[in-house]
Amino acid sequence: MRRATRYMALCLLSCNIFFGVVQASKLTDMINKQTGQEVSVIKEQQLKQDSNLKLVTIKELKTGFRVLGFTNKHESFFLAITSAFFTSNDDDRNLIISEFNLVNHYNMTFKTQEAVKKAINSLPNDAIINLASTNKNAKKVFYIVSDPMCPHCQDELKRINDRLNEGDVKMIPVGWMGKDSAYKVAEIYSLVKEAKTDSEKIKILQKIYNPQYKAKPRDTKMVEEVVRSLMGEGKVEGTPYIIEEDK
| Percent of the chain residues past pLDDT 70, beyond the cut | 88
Q: Is domain 25-90 classified as CATH 3.10.450.520?
A: yes
Query: Coil, helix or strand for 44?
Result: strand
Whether residue 17 is predicted with pLDDT greater than 70 in this model: the reply is: no
User: Which of 11-25, 40-54, 184-198, 219-233 bottoms out in mean pLDDT, i.e. has the lowest?
Assistant: 11-25
Residues 6+ apart with CB under 8 A from 152: 239, 240
pLDDT in tens, 96-117: 887 887 787 777 777 788 899 9
List the domain boundaries for the chain.
Answer: 25-90, 120-246
Q: What digits encode the pLDDT tens for the residues 143-187?
A: 999 999 999 999 999 999 999 999 999 999 999 999 999 999 999
Please determine, looking at this structure, whether the domain spanning 120-246 carries the CATH number 1.10.10.10.
Answer: no
- Does the pLDDT value for residue 84 go beyond 70? no
**pTM confidence score:** 0.64
Helix (H, G, I), strand (E, B) or coil at 57: strand
Cα-to-chain-centroid distance, residue 209 = 20
The CA distances from residue 186 to 57, 178, 189, in Å, are 38, 12, 5
